[in-house]
Amino acid sequence: MYGIEVVAKAKALIVEKVGQRVEAKIVTRAEHKAQKPIIENVVKKLKEVKLEETHEVEQSPLISSHFHKGFSQRLKRR
């Protein structure tokens, strides 16, 4: 009788530990799946913020048109 009780107790402990491991894997997968969309949203928002922070520098019409024409003509002459 004693041997049967030990085997049953050992079997119960093994089943319990395996159950805990399976639960841990399921929870880990669920956490990962839950975090993935959040991370994607954060990355998207960071890109948007970077785009908002960039500033375009406006050139005056004199610099943009006259300078480029004169400079390109000088280069063609040489």
In whole angstroms, what is the distance from residue 12 CA to residue 5 CA? 10
CA quadruple 57, 61, 67, 68: dihedral positive or negative? positive
Residue 62's pLDDT is 57
Q: Rounded mean pLDDT of the chain?
A: 76
pLDDT in tens, 33-63: 888 888 888 888 888 887 777 666 666 665 5
Model pTM score: 0.38
* Cα 12 to the center of its chain, rounded Å: 42
Helices (H) and strands (E) counted in the chain, each on its own, are 3, 0
Provide the token pair at 6: 């030990």
Residue 34's pLDDT is 81
Above 60 in pLDDT, residue 32? yes
